[in-house]
Copies of this chain bind each other. A is one copy, B any other.
Amino acid sequence: MNTRGRHLLVEYTGCDASVLDDLKRIEALMNQAAKAARTNIVASVFQPFEPHGVTGVVVVEESHLSIHTWPEHGYAAVDFFTCGESVPELAHKVLSEGLGAERAEIVTVDRGLSHTGPSMRMRSHSTERYGDRAFEMISSTNGAHSANGHTSVAHGSPAPMLAAPRS
């Protein structure tokens, strides 16, 4: 059985605050995203945060999708972790549009690569800006594609992910 998985960590900013605070809408978006990514939904658990926001997870046969939102900051922290033939980038496309995000920062990690040696590899770290459709690749080894099919534009020379803290 193949253990190889692909994990997208995504930070959405400049999102529509009313969407981020709407539990039913967030749950519907995340379930739509799970289907778009070609996963099979097992369970969906969503809860309101106090005083604002939503936290939730869609458990799928191919791993999970999670979201935590801060409407007061227009911010959502999302993970798409899938195995097999699923396509987490398609889930990202659903969320970036559904949240009305101005910007997404995406780290892609390959997991389950080896059971005796290094098992994780950082594939890419990129930023997409939807206002002006600018795509900035922070760093990458293997090249990466943004969710909507555009290839991310390399920005400067590839930098280590563990460069000096960025503020």
Given contacts A9-B111, A115-B13, contact A125 B74 (CB under 8 A): no
How many copies of this chain are found per oligomer?
2
Asked if A111 and B11 make an inter-chain contact with CB atoms under 8 angstroms apart, the answer reads yes
Total count of chain A residues near the partner, CB < 8 A: 65
A37 to B142, CA, bound (A): 35
Asked if A77 and B112 make an inter-chain contact with CB atoms under 8 angstroms apart, the answer reads yes
Residues of B within 8 A of A45 (CB): 43, 45, 57, 59
A56 to B5, CA, bound (A): 16
Binds B, one of A26-34, A61-69, A88-96: A61-69
Residues of B within 8 A of A107 (CB): 109, 120, 122
Does A72 sit within 8 A of B, measured CB to CB?
yes
